[in-house]
Chains A and B, each alone.
Chain A
Amino acid sequence: MSARDDILGTVRRSLKRGGLTAEQEAPLLARLARPQAGPIPARSAGRDRRGLVELFDSQACEVHATVARVASLADVPAAIGDYLARQNLPAEMTAAPDKLLDGIPWDRRPLLRLKRGKPDPADAVGLSAAFAGIAETGTLMLISGAHSPSTLNFLPDTHVVVLPAARLVGPLEEAWKRLRAATGAMKLAGAAMPRTVNFITGPSRSADIELTLQLGAHGPRRLHIVVVEDDAVA
């Protein structure tokens, strides 16, 4: 008997039943077809976009990310340029080949150099666009794809992420909902699901030595989030 059949057989024996009948299966299939949310904390409930930005900002700062809020895409180059200068970082970034990022007028900050594509190990600063922002916990959601290499989220020492306020949601469940909607199918199975979905809450850290918090364990030491408040940017 194959290990698979053996294991499934033992599971059924232990549960004192055989395989499920079609009748028993129906509610389970329904549960998968229409995933239901559990209790959702009130923390992010009933907030308009502005309220979500406020909550996201404060939650992200609490986990040692930094947040800059700008009015429009046109303000992004200056915001990032200023940030890099403040941190004494080179004005060089490896950017995800993402439509949103491509639409930013980078020439407004001519000294800022951008390289599109996946990062080399030595690259110092990575630039990504967030798929969504979760205000409840100050979490970014990034998904892999032709427009977005996941290594960019981890290899460079500094990670800069552009997040349009229109992509902010309250709880994590809403972020899943956005992904379900984006894939066009309620079901996230198979190819509809991106290879990697990263939920990122602050910069990398470790407390493995004497339980003292150190930032930048393996992933980025700094996470800088630029929130674009212009409602027209989606």
Chain B
Amino acid sequence: MLTTSPAFKDNAHRALGDPVLQRALALLKTGFHERRQRAVDRLPEFDALRDAAKAIKDHTLAHLDWYLERFEVNCRAAGGQVHWCRTPEEARQTVLALCRRFNARTATKGKTMIAEEIGLNEFLEENGVEPVETDLGEYIIQLRHEAPSHIIAPAIHLTRTEVAETFRAAHTDLDPARPLDEPRALVAEARARLRQRFLDADVGITGANFLIAETGSSVIVTNEGNGDLTQLLPKAHIVLASLEKVVPTAEDLAVILRVLARSATGQDMSVYTTVSTGPKRPSDLDGPGEYHVVLLDNGRSELLGSEFQEILRCIRCGACMNNCPVYGAIGGHAYGWVYPGPMGAVLTPALIGIEHAGHLPNASTFCGKCESVCTMHIPLPKLMRHWREREYERKLSPRTMRAGLKLWAFLAKRPALYHALTGFAAKLLAALGRRHGSFYNLPLAGGWTATREMPAPQGKTFREQWRERQHNAGTAR
């Protein structure tokens, strides 16, 4: 997928001025973060489960090579195949080769962020395979040629009216008189359209929320059931998964499932948790004839052992973005690539390079809300700060900012000079701002004063006044 992350500021500007998007983002609050809180409050063991889930992931990551090998062995034992892919290109070629083997003209797709990461749809289209998104949100944005704006609610930036317009434009045989005002009607329309696509598809592609080393299975967690029809009906089921999705056992899965849905949508369990192991068995009445797991690295193996390792615990619940005030203001598209919000601000620079994604870890107030809700206790602000450090080391941050900081640090290390200058500045600004108590406009602080007053200092600095006070107390004694 192409990135517009370097244009983050322009993206954000457009997002802030888009009233439709702003209305949609307002829904996040009740739609996601209050529901999450209610679900968490209903489960006294939530924090213990969160700690256990984190420990499972940490353990698995520390032995990732071993668990991946076990996964492969067990997947094969069940008749499946594992395709190891270093790069997005290798993954795309692998998927295409599989599609060609089945003479696939269409491939249905369950929701998979890895497909977005490797730009699979465009690639399949270019090569004569039509990818059909079947998750309702993904389907809508595919019709609009847009990227997802949220990892679990890809079309959260759209209103029902926009969705209706999209359907009328794409479903050309649709009766113009048929009302599509209500979400119910829109869901019914998409369901009817996609039903035939499920039945016609030659291969089905899903993501994987988890891989289980013990059983060689992949696991998807959905609410619609599209991922199931995607994998059960065609001749082959192709699973796209990145390395870090593996967990040791079915029991470990149980622990993580308890925190996943609660954190994501506020459900105790998502509607469908499906564990898929190999192709259909000889006596089975249905299921795919072949089962392939495309295992993507794309730089993740390099994150292990680095200061960014903890992001590999992420289970893509979306709680960080649902609760992020910056995401809440600008939405997901502004981030310019597959993964938005705080987890995206940490993962994206690792996948596309800090030189392209520098804005993402910078566009955070470090308010810490993301870390506080993160199911996997990922210290997201800390990891964003590490990206800022990499950026600073490589002199990628804006030169004016670096110069300003350097000057300030130079002064802060020289107290006499610092106090002389701050003392002077405080008095000067206090004199200038005395009448109003604040500034309507201030050189070098234009970003601030464009929309808010800059409070004026009171006068003498604390240090000066404290010294006078100490001096007076001394002479009085």
Residues on A close to B: CB < 8 A?
2-4, 6-8, 10-12, 14-16, 19-20, 25, 28, 31-32, 35-43, 59, 63, 97, 117-118, 121, 136-137, 139, 144-146, 148-151, 153-155, 171-173, 176, 187-191, 193-212, 214, 216-220
Q: A16-B305, A38-B56 are in contact. List 6 more A-B contacts (CB 8 A).
A: A25-B66, A38-B53, A97-B285, A150-B232, A193-B216, A194-B277
| Inter-chain contacts of A2 with B (CB < 8 A) | 84
Find out whether the CB atom of B48 lies under 8 angstroms from the CB atom of A3.
no
B416 to chain A, nearest CB (A): 47
| Inter-chain contacts of B143 with A (CB < 8 A) | none
Find out whether the CB atom of A3 lies under 8 angstroms from the CB atom of B84.
yes
Q: Give bound CA distance, A194 to B214, whole Å.
A: 14
* 8 Å CB contact of A199 from B45, B272, B276, B277: B272
User: Of all chain A residues, which has the CB nearest B64?
Assistant: A11
A-contact 0/1 string along B414-439, CB 8 Å cutoff = 00000000000000000000000000
Find out whether the CB atom of B214 lies under 8 angstroms from the CB atom of A8.
no
User: Of all chain A residues, which has the CB nearest B276?
Assistant: A196
| Inter-chain contacts of A20 with B (CB < 8 A) | 63, 65-66
Q: Which of B122-130, B148-156, B326-334, B343-351 contacts A (4 or more CB under 8 A)?
A: B148-156
Find out whether the CB atom of A209 lies under 8 angstroms from the CB atom of B275.
no
Of A149, A153, A203, A209, most buried by chain B (CB within 10 Å of CB) is A209
Given contacts A187-B214, A191-B281, A218-B194, contact A35 B228 (CB under 8 A): no
Complex interface residues of chain B between 378 and 436 (CB less than 8 A to chain A): none
Q: B447 interface residue, CB < 8 Å from A?
A: no
The 6 closest A-B pairs by CB, nearest first: A219-B225, A211-B31, A208-B137, A190-B77, A217-B224, A38-B255
Find out whether the CB atom of A193 lies under 8 angstroms from the CB atom of B306.
no
- For this complex, into which size category does the number of interface residues on chain B fall? 35 or more
* 8 Å CB contact of B199 from A121, A149, A191: A121
Find out whether the CB atom of A35 lies under 8 angstroms from the CB atom of B250.
yes
Find out whether the CB atom of B249 lies under 8 angstroms from the CB atom of A32.
yes
* 8 Å CB contact of A39 from B255, B271, B304: B255
* 8 Å CB contact of B272 from A189, A200, A212: A200
* 8 Å CB contact of A193 from B66, B159, B187, B217: B217
Q: B99 interface residue, CB < 8 Å from A?
A: no
User: Of all chain A residues, which has the CB nearest B139?
Assistant: A208
Q: B170 interface residue, CB < 8 Å from A?
A: no
A176 to chain B, nearest CB (A): 5
Q: B146 interface residue, CB < 8 Å from A?
A: no
Q: B4 interface residue, CB < 8 Å from A?
A: no
Q: B278 interface residue, CB < 8 Å from A?
A: yes
B193 to chain A, nearest CB (A): 11
Q: B243 interface residue, CB < 8 Å from A?
A: yes
* 8 Å CB contact of B43 from A7, A36, A41, A63: A41
Query: Please, could you name 14 A-B residue pairs with CB atoms under 8 Å apart, sorted by A?
Result: A7-B295, A7-B297, A31-B249, A32-B214, A43-B43, A146-B285, A154-B228, A188-B215, A190-B74, A191-B78, A196-B275, A199-B273, A211-B32, A218-B224
Find out whether the CB atom of A176 lies under 8 angstroms from the CB atom of B250.
yes
User: Of all chain A residues, which has the CB nearest B73?
Assistant: A189
Q: Give bound CA distance, A92 to B43, whole Å.
A: 40
Q: Give bound CA distance, A144 to B53, whole Å.
A: 28
Q: B226 interface residue, CB < 8 Å from A?
A: yes
Find out whether the CB atom of B297 lies under 8 angstroms from the CB atom of A212.
no
Main secondary structure on chain A at its contact with chain B? loop
| Inter-chain contacts of A6 with B (CB < 8 A) | 86
| Inter-chain contacts of A151 with B (CB < 8 A) | 229, 232-233, 286
Find out whether the CB atom of A207 lies under 8 angstroms from the CB atom of B214.
no
Find out whether the CB atom of B229 lies under 8 angstroms from the CB atom of A211.
no
Find out whether the CB atom of A216 lies under 8 angstroms from the CB atom of B216.
no
Find out whether the CB atom of B229 lies under 8 angstroms from the CB atom of A154.
yes
* 8 Å CB contact of B270 from A150, A201, A209, A212: A201
Given contacts A189-B215, A217-B191, contact A172 B257 (CB under 8 A): yes
Given contacts A36-B251, A41-B258, contact A209 B187 (CB under 8 A): yes
| Inter-chain contacts of A205 with B (CB < 8 A) | 223-224, 271
* 8 Å CB contact of B183 from A19, A28, A155, A209: A209
| Inter-chain contacts of B156 with A (CB < 8 A) | 208, 211
A-contact 0/1 string along B304-341, CB 8 Å cutoff = 11100000000000000000000000000000000000
Q: Give bound CA distance, A176 to B214, whole Å.
A: 13
| Inter-chain contacts of A209 with B (CB < 8 A) | 136, 140, 155, 158, 160, 163, 183, 186-187
Find out whether the CB atom of B285 lies under 8 angstroms from the CB atom of A149.
yes
| Inter-chain contacts of A36 with B (CB < 8 A) | 251
Q: Give bound CA distance, A144 to B231, whole Å.
A: 13
Find out whether the CB atom of A211 lies under 8 angstroms from the CB atom of B27.
yes
Find out whether the CB atom of A196 lies under 8 angstroms from the CB atom of B86.
no
Find out whether the CB atom of A7 lies under 8 angstroms from the CB atom of B86.
yes
Find out whether the CB atom of A195 lies under 8 angstroms from the CB atom of B284.
yes
Given contacts A154-B229, A208-B136, A214-B183, contact A41 B269 (CB under 8 A): no
Find out whether the CB atom of B184 lies under 8 angstroms from the CB atom of A15.
no
Q: B267 interface residue, CB < 8 Å from A?
A: yes
A185 to chain B, nearest CB (A): 11
A-contact 0/1 string along B38-62, CB 8 Å cutoff = 0000011100110011001000001
Q: B131 interface residue, CB < 8 Å from A?
A: no
A162 to chain B, nearest CB (A): 18
Q: Give bound CA distance, A154 to B255, whole Å.
A: 26
B364 to chain A, nearest CB (A): 24
Find out whether the CB atom of B135 lies under 8 angstroms from the CB atom of A208.
yes
Of B85, B188, B250, B255, most buried by chain A (CB within 10 Å of CB) is B250
Q: B279 interface residue, CB < 8 Å from A?
A: yes
User: Of all chain A residues, which has the CB nearest B91?
Assistant: A3
A91 to chain B, nearest CB (A): 23
Q: Give bound CA distance, A210 to B187, whole Å.
A: 12
| Inter-chain contacts of A144 with B (CB < 8 A) | 280-281, 284-287
| Inter-chain contacts of B74 with A (CB < 8 A) | 189-190
Q: Give bound CA distance, A215 to B402, whole Å.
A: 53
Q: Give bound CA distance, A6 to B66, whole Å.
A: 14
* 8 Å CB contact of B269 from A19, A139, A187, A219: A139
Of B28, B52, B56, B217, most buried by chain A (CB within 10 Å of CB) is B217
| Inter-chain contacts of B268 with A (CB < 8 A) | 59, 63, 136-137, 201
